[in-house]
Amino acid sequence: MFGAFRPTQPTFVGLLWKTPWKLSRTRKANVRARLKRVDSVIEAVKESGVQCAALTKALELPKEHEMPPRDKYTVFSRHAKGYRKGIHKVPKWTRMTLRTNPKGF
């Protein structure tokens, strides 16, 4: 029943990695910390007084405290039921800008 030979899906079918369908509390906290770190980078560039197109674009992004939880932890997906999937299903999601989603979805 227990131990190394218990009948579970990974032991039966070999290579099987499962991704939880939603983020845990800790992972969500880490998401927020990362978002805040990026906000601080944008804030530092803004405070430097430099003006450029990239900065105006970055300032259009919602800040961590302005984002609804829906946008923090899920992203738009045209294939998923309800047009949303967990943000952790996106490859390289911790190092990408995934703050905005299509309006109405």
Partner 1 sequence: MFTAAASLRSCASSLAKAQCRRSLATSAASSTAQSSTTTGEPLTHYRITLRRSAISLPQNIKGTLEALGIHRRLQTVYHRHTPDIAGKILTVKELVTVENVPESAVRTKWEQRQERKAPRGYSVTGSKLQVDL
Task: Give the x/- contact pattern for partner 1 in 83-102, rule: CB under 8 A.
Answer: ---------x-xxxx-----
- Cβ atoms of 78 and 36 within 8 Å: the answer is no
Check if the beta carbon of residue 77 is closer than 8 Å to that of residue 71.
no
Amino acid at site 25: R
Q: Which of 27, 32, 38, 101 binds partner 1 (CB under 8 A)?
A: 38
Q: Please count the helices (runs of H) and the strands (runs of E) in the chain.
A: 4, 2
Out of 23, 32, 42, 64, name the contact with partner 1 by CB under 8 A: 42
Q: Which residues bind partner 1 (CB under 8 A)?
A: 34, 37-38, 40-42, 44-45, 47-55, 57-58, 92, 94-97
